Structure 1
Amino acid sequence: MNIFSLFKCKWWIPLLLGIYCFLYTTKSLAREKSGIPDSHWLSSSPYHMLGMTQSIVITGTVSDSQGVLPGVTVSVQGKSTATITDYQGKYSITAMATDVLVFSFVGYTTLNIPIGGRTVVSVSLQEDATQLQEVKINAGYYSVKESERTGSIAKISAATIEKQPVNNMLAAMQGRMAGVNVTQTTGVAGGGFDIQIRGQNSLRAGGNEPLYIVDGVPFASEVIGNSNTTGVLPRSASPLSIISPTEIESIEILKDADATAIYGSRGANGVVLITTKKGKQGKTQYTANVSRGTGTVTRFMDLMNTQQYLEMRKEAFANDGITTFPTSAYDVNGTWSPTRYTDWQRELTGGTSELTDVQTSVTGGSQRNQFYLGANYHKETTVFPGDFNFNRTSVRGNFSHASEDERFRANFSVGYTMQGNDLPATDLTRDSRILAPNAPALYDAEGKLNWENGSWNNPLRLLYASYLAKSQSLIANSQLSYRIVEGLDFRTAFGFTDLRHNERRTNPSTLYNPSLGFGSSYSSLYRNTNNRQSYSVEPQLDFNRQWNDSKVSVLVGGTFQQQEGNQLILFADGFTSNSLLNTLAAASAIYVVADDASQYKYQAFFARANYTYKDRYILNLTGRRDGSSRFGPGKQFATFGAIGAAWLFSREAFLANNSILSFGKLRASYGTTGSDQIGDYQFLDTYSTTSNGYQGITGIQPTRLFNPDFGWETNSKMEIALETGFLKDRIFLTWAWYDNRSSNQLVGVPLPGTTGFTSIQANLDATVANSGTELSLRTVNLQKKDFSWTTDFNISFMKNKLVSFPNLAASTYKNQFVIGEPINIKLLYHYTGINPETGVYTFEDVNGDGVLTAEKDKKTIVDFNPSFYGGLQNQLRYQRLRLDFLFQFVKQQNYSNDYIFARPGLLSNQPVSVTDRWQQAGDVTAYQMYTTSSNSDAGKAFNNFQASDGVVTDASYIRLKNVSLSYDLPQNWTGQLQCRLYVEGQNLLTFTPYTGTDPEFKTTGFLPPLRMLSAGVQLTF
């Protein structure tokens, strides 16, 4: 029986469980408030009662270098009296005047403070890096101490995320994790990011996405938009923008086989674990955070002014032997003013984006019941002219309960987000770079768009086309656990996600030059509706046992997931009026571009066994049996697994009295994971409707061939790592080497044209290898009562290589891949300079036949993968003042301006560097002669130049990625209210030899990442 038949479309099941948890929590809290608090019960122990006549009430505040510290255990030495600090770091405990108070908290040095008759004892705890090794981190289905993990896991916390004025959580990860490379694809809010965890495994561009897990629920990261309706975004809207960064408690990245194998097929490209904020024990705490900021383009290109531009145009015509300017050459034939100058970059992209963020939350609870409720609002405008914005509103709640005997536990979390993206339908960045500097004014004397008698296409016409996207997302999760006997727990997790996305793009007739005479019948509309629902159930059995020097942990469980989606894309044109452009009934014709429904079913059974001997020898075994509906009969199931081991050699007897080495661990892992990221129904015969019907009847045509042998892609991973801490872990160094190999590639295998198909989806016996070295260094440079300074550094060296590809030379991929080289390469002509006699670009004729051809002469290999990347972060504190800043760096190559711009000499502006051109025989210059003709020798040479290594340049950079400066007001000023003032910046400074707008940016013609500055206040009471 299919387990989904029990709750298909029953999204109310996790919701009812959550309501139950909430009601039970409320009831328990009320009951507990009517009785004696636990802390008072503890302080009423027999030991206390014996000395009642000599006891006093001690109060105080516990803090650390970052501020007040909740959750600290405060106990009386030698007695059972204990309590914990609340969310303001305050505590109250009853003790004798001669007692000693013990302050302890994981990650901090324990303090023993004599009371000495005082009634107020406030202390400041110091971080203990050695104790930080005891902090548990999220490994997905289980948690593990940092010191005892056998896999490779990187983490950033809310404290880091909240210091960055970003609208997407992936932006907060840039430069902070070894082996994790994140690049931004656009500076427009709501746009996407590319993330690669230890390189590219798949030959397919869309096959390298990691698995995202939000509070234990799989979250589909496939794009939700469509290229016909996407607007200014170079790729469709990122579904991850729906999750507000301010809601996140931590992000863990699972990288190696030991860490990812428990996710089986879904962990081939790494796993991103997102944990949202939850309630914590203590006094109810209210927090409000408000910030305002601005965003601007980081820098503009140095383009030609009017004089330089007109000189280029006239010289180009002269080089082509044209003495009379054509009627279409409005810039030089007298139609446009030769003295006019407009800086189009500042005119079209020089605006200021305004950023607004508001967050509120309430949290608290008792030892057995905690709750969290939060709401967030984010709004961001654009740098383009006009009133456009991206906005997001979200609410999130989390409720947890534990029974009095702590055998039963329940947790429910739910988050709902509404997102709106109202943007121009076209990015104006490209126009801002290529418009002639003497082009006409944007508006005429009457304030209307100026068309200059039809002689140009006013760029502001593009703003008449609109893009609007609205999304609603619901993520709910219930987790129930029951301790059957000591050491044996049964858990079940229920997850549900619902994503509804609607977007439209309008193209009114006002987009077109009035001289063309187009009416409203030329207006058109694209509409895209995309809905996606996912259900999951994960039962688990967890066994833990310890005896003598041995500890055993065994976890077995299963995953049952079903995802359903549907998408409808419509195109309409021939509208009776532009005012009715959003009304389909007003169109004369409506076409169905796509009408797709899909269903994805996934099930798995997994097991993990961990054995620890003498707290220093650790063995971890993981296995998983996966089944996916995306493969043909007999190929739907596959088995994956991993083995990990660790040796904590610093705990050996021969190092017991060592004063230099405080921590040492050697770990290694090997295993296999898989991938089914190929989309649904790829192995089946599929059909689509024909664009042209027959006698009024729409037909269908085959689009894909059946392949019953379509199976899993496999990724084998190996890692060796060394973790060392020195001087009580004030210096902590991690070194890791890995080698990953992805085989049985899921690609389109080419077919002969006689079959009627260009390819068939199949497994190709090709292998891609990713190997590299990662280094992470953390140093506690200074740690005093009033001043502390810590530094975090990471760097990653990587090498990507196509190891094998059967019969590559005879395939359609022969001009795309080379065995032994990275898969992210380009085969280009080799540029050899400019012929000083003819003034034309020259290239290497590889085969010496006197003719330049792509197949025989494009042999120069250019690798666009970064050679290395990383980040350097510093955290400084002086009393209540804190300063954090991060430098991100990347060593890479990218296309230069010469690849982006058109041929010098055309009606298109150019970088000022193009003025260094050839003019007469003997000239040695950087650029060839100007020309307006594509058929001239110079015109043909320019086309080859843009397909050569002459347009590839060093795009390495060091960027001041983030700066955060904050100050906590003294509480003797604010009383019970805690107030933090802060200023934050993103993408502040960039040091690079790259002459384009942004070296990180790989997408031409779109707005690059912006420089963001914001200031705010956070209140807690």
Structure 2
Amino acid sequence: MKTMMYLWCLAGLCLAPFARAQQTLTVVSGQVTDAVTGEPLTGATVALKASVGSTQTGADGKFQLSQVPANAILVASFVGYGMEEVAVKGQTNVQIALQPQSALDEVVVVGYGTQQRKDVTGAVASVSAAQLEKQPAASMDMLLQGKASGVQISQSSGAPGGRATIRIRGASSVNAGNEPLLVVDGIPMYNSSKDPGGTSYGTFSATNALASINPNDIQSVEVLKDASATAIYGSRGSNGVLIITTKRGKSGSAQVNYNGYYGWQRPHTKLDLMNGEEHAEFLNDWAGASDLPAPFDNPQAIGQGTDWQDLIFRQAGMTDHQVSISGGTENTRYFISGNYFNQDGIVINSGMERYALRFNIDQQINQRLKFIQSLTFNRTINRSVPIANAGSDNVRSAGERAYTASPTATLFDEDDAYTTNWYGISKPESPVNSLLTTRNRLEGDNLLGNMGLEYTIAEGLTAKSSIGVNLMNRANEEFYPGETTYIGGLFGGLGILANRRITNILNENVVTYRTSFADRHRLEATGGFTWQTETNRSSSTQPTGFPNDLLGTDAIGGTTGTPVIDSDLSDWSIASFLARVNYQFNDRLLATATIRADGSSKFAKGNQWGYFPSVALGYRLSEEDFIKNTGVWDDLKIRGSYGVTGNQEIGNYQSLARLVTDLLYIFDNQLINGARQTSLANQTLTWEKSAQWDVGFDMGFWNNRLRLVFDYYKKNTHDLLFTINLPAYSGYRTALYNTGQLENRGVEIELSADLFQNDFTWSVQGNYAYNRAKMVSLGRSGSTSLFLGYAPGVNLSYIYEGIFHNDAEIAAQSYQTGVQPGDIRYKDVNNDGQFNADDRGIVGNPQPKHIFGLNNQLAYKGLSLGIFLQGELGREGNRISRLFDPSEVASNKAHELVNRWSPDNPNGTLPRAGVGNWLSSTYLLQDMSYIKLRNVQLGYQVPGRIVGIRSLQVYLSGQNLVTFTRDGFFGYDPDGGNGYPTASTVLLGLNIGF
């Protein structure tokens, strides 16, 4: 009997290939449509289940598959729609209708798991790949700007790869870190610069960690805002969390995609400055007020003079190329991409290159075990220029060189050498030649990887263990030539060679249990242990006295100065236990409870563990009959949360007594290296903690074509880290302590609507946020720059009230003495008849009162148009002081000062040249509000399929094209710095799918 069974099995195995060969294979065609509107869906994927065969629909929604078995099952999918399986059953024409997927059913990535949107109880905003792909960008932060409520992103520098500042629900700290935690494919990190040190006088742009991440690889970004969402990250959740998920492969035949563009950049704006004749007249007036001879006999002969902005700024190109391949089988899925990005800066001698490779794989080893891997390697090369002044202005920013250099000076002197001096300047160097010859090259290699195993222990019970690494190597080379730069001239050439190596290792172990019972209860419990450590090593040498400027730092062996040599080693680690429970009753009542315990090496023994709990409740009223029967709401959910999160970003070893070995002592007539203690130990140093509560609601109307999300929150951060003054007898000046409180409260609104959904489609997404910050307590800080009831960053300043035009106006008041016509009139704030420091007032609002974004997407058949607006209102800042200070002579001036007071212009409205009572005042304060046309993109999707090409789109994109500001705003961009202006860009791009 057994022999017969073996023979039958052997025969079956031998005949199986022939049976498959005999199976009828045919060509199947059909159409994929919207189940609601009946409209064809372009670009939908149709695949053979459990096979690698797949295709995509054309502009008419039609598809065709060859080699299809008669008993095959077709699987159709499309972004925004549910998946549909249809049995072929011998048919040659198959019609497939896909149901639109409700926004409530979309999956949201939360800490250590995912949830459907309808089940989320916390404040979580999502930005999908479809939204990100509408705007080409160099880095992720540029894509996120204006896309999520409560998220403020400021481009502090327009330099390629320059760092951006990200704030979620305002700044939670004064002295500790305020950047949100980034979680990239499960690896926590910060957008802090990891660059090695520069020279003692260097001011080059700190690079943006996000610029090393290829934005084309990003699938989605989730913004966790309230304590319920962020408490799962415990001591690193106070500033919010950005979860970045990269693209992964899908089952089906291999799909190859090319995305590329070429762009043209130009400075977004030019400052309105004095020309040569006007500045010469100003200098003559200044000299006359100072009893000096006039430096220019005939200002009119100078004419327009030299426009240094035109010489330092330029039009520049940028290009981006990406090739990706993805696909796989039911058990193995992959996504592989390669990217090359090159951006020349709009400032001469600046730019950035990025090379990036990514390999993501999902392997179902068997029914219970799954392997998951995310791996990326990138290399960046930055050519930087100074973006801020340093070393008592011995090094000036690129922007300042452009706007302060006198237009009376020429680019070259009579000997065809670069001009290095003009009237009033004390540190001569050519604004152009110093930039061209200064060298700063920062190279960085970054390996970011995470791999893990997920095992299904039993039904509903899974365990996942992963290992992540973030390996960074940075090398910086700076050189200031002795002949062409002022700082280089002081030292006979100044250079630096610096290196930094960072090793960050992460281990996470998480168990998740999901179950439902009694048809009305659903439960999900997550628990885990994580451990992360980082080691940071750096070294540098700063040589001076170079034999010549030709070889720069390549001639370091021939330097004659005493080099400054430095090295550093630091490390930190954190161990954590976490737990979260999600409970649902009858799809109506929702509850989430979270707790995380963190032990950090950054704090003293006995005070290293912190505990961060949160709880959230939600009620889906839309599931109740009395709501359903109204016919108004498709979704109505109210929710509330409360929790505590922490901030450990205080630097390493702050709780310890620290020594430095920078002193030399003389013993027995010999120099001996010595050490001295620079700080006291603080065994009580601990986390800044933020207690936050949030109430909100989610609404959906008319089949969720109109959606509204509203949140009101209040966040109180206590135990702020302050450096407080110590009594002199302690032997130390200051110490770091926990003291003081800061409050943030605000409102967030997100509104989206699908206005048209036929041949012509029009969707709108808008968001708005209002945040108020104020110091609730200063504690023991003794700070003189912070004020109770005001936000950090306000100023104590004199109040400007115009100028004195004549002696009569001076005689009509008595509190300002020793002034003359053309001098500044200040306000007597306390009305005591005297003018002194007591007449200063608290002015300025460093944070915007309102931030918003508005995105319109319109399409008609193959044509598409995207228009994205973003803005901030109510923020104040100072104008460029040197351009408006008529008492200062070493720089050019704003054109406004042409209307200054002078004996020949007694009705002038601005202070006279050489004004005698110049003080820092609201004369410099200006409204920084703006509305910016961030992106306009016109695209065309070629209809149908072209031989060998699955899809083809061309587009024209304009970025940062127009900025609307308040009257009187003076600066390059209210959203960027003046050290390196922002650029306007036009891109021509191409997307091809094979």
TM-score by length of 1: 0.86
2:329 matches 1:366:
yes
Deviation (angstroms), 1:372? 1.2
2:81 matches 1:108:
yes
**What is the match of residue 686 of structure 2?**
711
- 1:896 to 1:63, Cα distance in 2 relative to 1, 3 A: farther
2:171 matches 1:200:
yes
**What is the match of residue 230 of structure 2?**
260
**Aligned 8 A contact 1:661 1:725 in 2:** yes
- 1:756 to 1:91, Cα distance in 2 relative to 1, 3 A: farther
Deviation (angstroms), 1:983? 1.4
Amino acid aligned to 1:319: A
Higher mean alpha-carbon deviation, 613-622 vs 840-849, is at 840-849
**What is the match of residue 370 of structure 2?**
409
2:467 matches 1:494:
yes
Deviation (angstroms), 1:307? 2.5
**Aligned 8 A contact 2:470 2:503 in 1:** yes
**What is the match of residue 619 of structure 2?**
647
Distance 1:443 1:149 in 2: 69
**Aligned 8 A contact 1:570 1:590 in 2:** no
Distance 1:152 1:163 in 2: 25
2:907 matches 1:927:
no
Distance 1:509 1:312 in 2: 32
**What is the match of residue 701 of structure 1?**
676
- 1:755 to 1:308, Cα distance in 2 relative to 1, 3 A: same
Amino acid aligned to 1:422: R
**What is the match of residue 982 of structure 1?**
955
**What is the match of residue 14 of structure 1?**
none
Higher mean alpha-carbon deviation, 842-851 vs 980-989, is at 842-851
Distance 2:527 2:168 in 1: 27
- 1:745 to 1:895, Cα distance in 2 relative to 1, 3 A: closer
Amino acid aligned to 2:926: T
- 1:9-28 maps to which residues of 2 (within 5 A)? none
Deviation (angstroms), 1:417? 0.6
Amino acid aligned to 1:866: P
- 1:88-127 maps to which residues of 2 (within 5 A)? 90=63, 92=65, 107-108=80-81, 119-121=92-94, 127=100
**What is the match of residue 358 of structure 2?**
396
Distance 2:26 2:342 in 1: 52
Deviation (angstroms), 1:569? 2.9
**What is the match of residue 859 of structure 1?**
841
**What is the match of residue 346 of structure 1?**
310
2:274 matches 1:301:
no
Distance 1:284 1:35 in 2: 27
Distance 1:236 1:95 in 2: 56
Identity %: 27
**What is the match of residue 133 of structure 1?**
104
Distance 1:302 1:793 in 2: 34
1:917 aligned to 900, 907, 914, which one?
900
- 1:357-756 maps to which residues of 2 (within 5 A)? 357-386=320-349, 388-405=350-367, 407-425=368-386, 427-442=397-412, 448-451=417-420, 457-462=429-434, 463-512=436-485, 522-548=492-518, 549-582=520-553, 583-592=555-564, 594-690=566-662, 694=666, 695-756=670-731
1:156 aligned to 118, 122, 127, which one?
127
**Aligned 8 A contact 1:805 1:819 in 2:** yes
Deviation (angstroms), 1:965? 1.7
**What is the match of residue 829 of structure 1?**
798
**Aligned 8 A contact 1:791 1:875 in 2:** yes
**Aligned 8 A contact 2:444 2:473 in 1:** yes
- 1:771 to 1:434, Cα distance in 2 relative to 1, 3 A: same
Higher mean alpha-carbon deviation, 743-752 vs 420-429, is at 420-429
Distance 2:399 2:624 in 1: 62
Distance 2:641 2:476 in 1: 45
Amino acid aligned to 1:565: N
**Aligned 8 A contact 2:249 2:335 in 1:** yes
**Aligned 8 A contact 1:522 1:574 in 2:** yes
Distance 1:836 1:365 in 2: 80
- 1:264-279 maps to which residues of 2 (within 5 A)? 264-279=234-249
Distance 1:899 1:705 in 2: 39
Amino acid aligned to 2:323: T
Deviation (angstroms), 1:265? 0.5
* RMSD after superposition: 3.4
**What is the match of residue 4 of structure 2?**
none
Deviation (angstroms), 1:512? 4.3
**What is the match of residue 758 of structure 1?**
733
2:969 matches 1:995:
yes
**What is the match of residue 967 of structure 1?**
940
**Aligned 8 A contact 1:212 1:271 in 2:** yes
**Aligned 8 A contact 1:830 1:860 in 2:** no
Distance 2:546 2:683 in 1: 46
Deviation (angstroms), 1:99? 14
**What is the match of residue 184 of structure 1?**
155
**Aligned 8 A contact 1:731 1:780 in 2:** yes
Deviation (angstroms), 1:118? 7.8
Deviation (angstroms), 1:763? 0.9
**Aligned 8 A contact 2:927 2:969 in 1:** no
Distance 2:951 2:324 in 1: 14
1:1009 aligned to 971, 982, 985, which one?
982
Amino acid aligned to 1:389: G
- 1:746 to 1:235, Cα distance in 2 relative to 1, 3 A: farther
Distance 1:384 1:202 in 2: 34
- 1:590 to 1:91, Cα distance in 2 relative to 1, 3 A: farther
SS of the residue corresponding to residue 949 of structure 1 reads coil
**Aligned 8 A contact 1:521 1:576 in 2:** no
Higher mean alpha-carbon deviation, 1009-1018 vs 824-833, is at 824-833
**Aligned 8 A contact 2:952 2:990 in 1:** yes
**Aligned 8 A contact 2:658 2:678 in 1:** yes
Deviation (angstroms), 1:882? 1.2
**What is the match of residue 25 of structure 1?**
none
Distance 1:954 1:730 in 2: 37
Output one character per residue of 1:469-528: Cα deviation in whole Å (capped at 9) or x when no partner: 000000110121111110111111111110111112111112247xx9x97961111222
1:799 aligned to 772, 783, 790, which one?
772
Deviation (angstroms), 1:902? 5.4
**Aligned 8 A contact 1:72 1:105 in 2:** no
**Aligned 8 A contact 2:958 2:985 in 1:** yes
Amino acid aligned to 2:755: N
Amino acid aligned to 2:328: G
- 1:604 to 1:116, Cα distance in 2 relative to 1, 3 A: closer
Deviation (angstroms), 1:820? 1.2
Amino acid aligned to 1:949: T
Amino acid aligned to 1:449: Y
Distance 2:608 2:85 in 1: 60
**Aligned 8 A contact 1:229 1:504 in 2:** no
Q: Which runs of 5+ in 1 are unaligned?
A: 1-33, 76-80, 932-937
Q: How many residues align?
A: 937
- 1:788 to 1:634, Cα distance in 2 relative to 1, 3 A: same
Higher mean alpha-carbon deviation, 634-643 vs 117-126, is at 117-126
- 1:132 to 1:105, Cα distance in 2 relative to 1, 3 A: farther
Higher mean alpha-carbon deviation, 598-607 vs 991-1000, is at 991-1000
Distance 1:485 1:432 in 2: 68
**What is the match of residue 24 of structure 1?**
none
Q: Which runs of 5+ in 2 are unaligned?
A: 1-14, 387-395, 807-820
**Aligned 8 A contact 2:846 2:877 in 1:** no
**What is the match of residue 777 of structure 1?**
751
- 1:837-852 maps to which residues of 2 (within 5 A)? 837=806, 838-847=821-830, 852=835
- 1:91 to 1:440, Cα distance in 2 relative to 1, 3 A: same
SS of the residue corresponding to residue 671 of structure 2 reads coil
Distance 1:104 1:523 in 2: 64
**What is the match of residue 29 of structure 1?**
none
Distance 2:714 2:895 in 1: 45
**What is the match of residue 5 of structure 1?**
none
SS of the residue corresponding to residue 108 of structure 2 reads strand
**Aligned 8 A contact 1:537 1:561 in 2:** yes
- 1:519 to 1:441, Cα distance in 2 relative to 1, 3 A: closer
- 1:114 to 1:210, Cα distance in 2 relative to 1, 3 A: closer
Distance 1:84 1:778 in 2: 37
